[in-house]
Structure 1
Amino acid sequence: MFDNYDDSLLYCRDLGIISETKPIRIANEIYREIIPRVLNRNLQDSIEEEGETKWYIKSNGKLDMDKLLKAFQEFYSENSEVWLERFDYKEAGPHLLLMAFLQRVINGGGRINREMAVGTGRTDLLIEFNGDKFVLELKLKRMPSARQKGLDQISRYLDTLGMTKGYLILFEIKPSSIIPWETRVKWEDISHQNKNITIVEM
């Protein structure tokens, strides 16, 4: 957790980038949009074929979110360990990788609304594309309870939006030498609190 006397934190507060109260949040919508884009700019430029919008568009012009996230699972398993080593803030790395991947695709006809709770290991995304909305809850698997907490969090988020379908994205933080990719990449559709949740693990 953050220390009130941490120089970086105080600097961000002095500039008005983050809130002065807990939980710490990025101060406004402009910063919420700009900061992740700046942090993952190099990532976006490095994602080539996998980031083509047309690959994930159905014949009716709608976004195929299942196909998009399954492609990201494959991309993440093949590339994440190299990329994550480059981040100064490694716990933010999985979220930034997914946002970079999504940004390349969504830029072709939609937008991403972000709600980042700094220091909590989770991020909420609301993706709008051609009249459809998709809710993604991104969460690090720091503790065995991460899955249950993530399900409860996305259910509350869906309630605030009046929606019943969402995706819980769980990132394993242990290296593949401990938990191999063959066992950590999972896809499961469940019902939780009257919501249809797709759990995407990697």
Structure 2
Amino acid sequence: MDKLLKAFQAFYRENSEMWLEKFDYKEAGPHLLLMAFLQRVINGGGKIHREMAVGTGRTDLLIEFNGERFVLELKLKRLPSAKQKGLDQISRYLDTLGMTKGYLILFEIKPSSVVTWETRVKWETLSHQNKEITIVEM
């Protein structure tokens, strides 16, 4: 999953501004681009569950591929609290699913003229509530 998400970071950096301007509902754009990019998982025999019920919440994406499961929580960076809220949310989902590792994907919504790509593209793995969370920012 790491390799796939790093490839998506590069794709998003190179192509997102051109594609995102075409969406009427701007907030859905980053989510739709990621799901389209992940189509290769389905083509390879995997499954992608969108908005899957987990306890009292819904995880954005649960991916099943090669006998493994991956939880991805997607957030737009509207407020500084988006990262912390996302960490808390994915930790709850992982706990409910009996999993220890997940991915928090954070999309910067300000244009690159305001927040440069050099500062927005990040990759960090940390421990949060006894879960290993990889934070992928773009």
TM range (shorter): over 0.9
Q: Which runs of 4+ in 1 moved over 3 A?
A: none
Counterpart Cα distance in 2 of 1:84 and 1:110: 27
Task: Tell me how many residue pairs correspond in the alignment.
Answer: 134
Counterpart Cα distance in 2 of 1:132 and 1:102: 15
| Letter of the structure 1 residue corresponding to residue 132 of structure 2 | N
Does the CA contact (< 8 Å) of 1:95 and 1:123 recur in 2? Answer: no
Larger radius of gyration: 1
Deviations 1:145-185 (A, max 9, x none): 00000000000111111101000000000000000001100
Counterpart Cα distance in 2 of 1:77 and 1:151: 23
Against the structure 1 CA distance between its residues 69 and 77, is the aligned structure 2 distance closer, same or farther, given a 3 Å change threshold? same
Matching residue within 2, 13, 37 for 1:77: 13
User: How do 1:1-202 and structure 2 match up within 5 A?
Assistant: 65-115=1-51, 124-202=60-138
Q: TM-score under structure 2 normalisation?
A: 0.93
**Structure with greater strand share of residues:** 2
Q: Which has the higher contact order (CA 8 A, sep 6+)?
A: 2
**What percent identity do the matched residue pairs reach?**
88
Gaps of 5+ in 2: none
Does the CA contact (< 8 Å) of 2:50 and 2:59 recur in 1? Answer: yes
Q: TM-score under structure 1 normalisation?
A: 0.64
Give how far 1:107 is off.
Answer: 2.2
